[in-house]
Amino acid sequence: MPVDDDLVHALEERTRQHSDRVVRLRGRVDAEPFELLIFRGFSSSTTHPTAFDPDASVLPEGTLLDQVEVLRGPLSPANEIVLAGPMQPGALLSDEHWVKASPER
């Protein structure tokens, strides 16, 4: 399992524990922009198709993740509230970004 898949699974678990948070991962698939949203343990790409198989990776072959944010959920496109980030994807595994995320950003 690629490292990025491990990261996605870890972030899915975090969003199960923090059901009021949405994780947005951004990067590239080859030369195309890529975006993945994770909410309440489920991942969905807004830019690329995802498999119906829950055991299949949600990351297309060649995905490079370079940015992550934590947003207040559920999402409201007209009033998006960023609680943490943007930051490097691995940095979001730190507890500090989950326990003390503040809407005053």
Whether residue 105 is contained in a domain is answered as: no
Tokens for 59, please give them.
């990351």
In sequence order, what are the residues at sequence separation of 6 or more whose Cβ sits closer than 8 angstroms to the Cβ of residue 105? 81, 82, 83, 84
Q: What confidence tens digit (pLDDT) does each residue in 24-68 have?
A: 999 999 889 999 999 999 998 889 887 777 778 888 888 999 999
- Is 23 part of any domain? yes
- Here the tokens at position 13 are 């678990």
The total number of residues shown for the chain amounts to 105
Segment holding 97, helix H or strand E: helix 96-99
Q: Is residue 104 part of a domain?
A: no
Pick 12 or 101 by higher pLDDT. 12
H/E stretch holding 67 reads: strand 63-72
d(CA 54, CA 90): 22
The domain total for the chain is 1
Q: Give residue 32's domain range.
A: 3-99
